[in-house]
């Protein structure tokens, strides 16, 4: 199994659930277990929502997804306002009404990294080791053989 896709989306709130539903369907088809699927979907939604909320003046953003046999890797990229990861508290205050997205990404994913290029492009890398349903290996092998 090696699935890749890249999608460019307008920086608008409606695109977060659109991407989430597409990613959910793709992970289900590949037999990713529900808990692992949930973690990936929440982290991806948080990263995309951050771009929508804080990525001005970028008109759009890109999401690159690679699903391999044992890993799912997402890259969410935009050319908006620069993001400074060290400026985000490691653990948000309980009374805080925002600032939980990066914290959740770190809690749910195996790897979270932020890259800020000199040209202003910001990329969030999210990576998760996949837990597959027991029947997924057999059905994927049958699909590849057929």
Alpha helices by DSSP H, the chain: 15-29, 34-54, 101-108, 136-145
Q: Are strands 71-78 and 60-68 parallel, antiparallel or unpaired?
A: antiparallel
- Dihedral pair phi/psi, residue 57, rounded to 5°: -95, 15
Q: What sign for the dihedral angle of Cα 121, 122, 126, 127?
A: positive
Cβ within 8 Å of residue 87, ≥6 positions away: none
Residue 111 corresponds to which tokens in the numbers above?
A: 């790897």
Please count the residues of the chain: 146
> Is 44's pLDDT higher than 50?
yes
Percent of the chain with pLDDT over 70: 82
Q: What is the pTM of this model?
A: 0.86
Output the pLDDT for position 89. 60
Mean pLDDT score of the chain? 87
Output the pLDDT for position 81. 82
Output the pLDDT for position 141. 47
Region 43-52 average pLDDT: 95
Higher pLDDT, residue 139 or 88: 88
Q: Give domain limits for the chain.
A: 2-145
Higher pLDDT, residue 117 or 125: 125
> Is 136's pLDDT higher than 80?
no
Higher pLDDT, residue 84 or 65: 65
> Is 33's pLDDT higher than 80?
yes
> Is 120's pLDDT higher than 50?
yes
Residue 77 vs residues 41, 69, 88, 107, 108: alpha-carbon distances, Å: 17, 24, 18, 21, 20
pLDDT band at 82 (very low <50, low <70, confident <90, very high): confident
- Decide if 63 contacts 76 (C-beta within 8 A): yes
Provide the CATH number for the domain formed by 2-145 in this structure. Answer: 3.30.565.10
């Amino acid at each position: 199994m090696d699935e890749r896709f890249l999608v460019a989306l307008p920086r608008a709130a409606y695109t977060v659930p659109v991407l989430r539903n597409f990613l959910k369907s793709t992970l289900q088809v590949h037999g990713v277990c529900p808990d692992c699927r949930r973690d990936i979907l929440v982290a991806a939604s948080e990263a995309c929502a951050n771009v929508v909320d804080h990525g001005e003046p970028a008109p759009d953003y890109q999401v690159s997804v690679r699903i391999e046999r044992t890993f799912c890797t997402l890259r969410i990229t935009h050319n908006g306002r620069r993001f400074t990861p060290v400026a985000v508290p490691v653990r948000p205050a309980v009374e805080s009404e925002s600032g939980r997205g990066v914290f959740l990404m770190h809690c749910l994913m195996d790897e979270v990294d932020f890259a800020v290029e000199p040209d202003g492009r910001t990329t969030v890398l999210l990576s998760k080791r996949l837990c597959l349903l027991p029947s997924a290996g057999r059905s994927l092998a049958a699909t590849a053989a057929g």
